[in-house]
Amino acid sequence: MSIFRQALLGIALLAAQGLLIWSQELRISGANKDTRLAEQDASRAREQAERNLANANALRDSLQQERKAQTTLRAQHDQLRQGLAKRELTIEALKRENVDLRNWAAQLLPDAARRLRERPALTGADAYRQWLSGRGAVYAAGDQPAQ
């Protein structure tokens, strides 16, 4: 083999090694870029998870407050219902004891008061609004409309 061939073969071998090193460098830089992107994605995912955890904690606290408020309202409702039952029993006892009160309670309501309590069967807010606007106005005793 001649020196020229050996030199060409050495140059070709060096060129092949250079290409191999260059391709490895490209793969390493690509992998580093992918690693940086994955770290950024992981960082964003952690931040979002922290925000979601904070939101979940806030919602849990809000739910606990709502439940406490509902419990308080139920207790108040029960107290009011008991108070109403006691008042009704007291009224019935007074009616049995007092003849004047019994006669007064047995009377029919005046027409004006009865009209205030009359209400047709309504279905929906629209029907209620129309019923309210179509009713005759109720005036205070001193403010009678001019006819």
Split into its structural domains, the chain has a count of 1
pLDDT, position 109: 83
Q: Please compute the mean of the pLDDT values over residues 77-94 and round it to a whole number.
A: 94
Distance in Å from the first CA to the final CA of the chain: 134
The H or E element spanning position 12 is helix 3-97
* Structural domain for 94, as ranges: 3-107
The answer to whether residue 121 is domain-embedded is no
The H or E element spanning position 127 is helix 125-134
Residue with tokens 């050996």: 6
For the question of whether the overall pTM of this predicted structure is more than 0.75, the answer is no
Question: Can you tell me the distance from the alpha carbon of 128 to that of 17, in angstroms, rounded to the nearest whole number?
Answer: 91
The answer to whether residue 134 is domain-embedded is no
CB 95 within 8 A of CB 102: yes
pLDDT single digits (tens) 7-53: 889 899 999 999 999 999 999 999 999 999 999 999 999 999 999 99
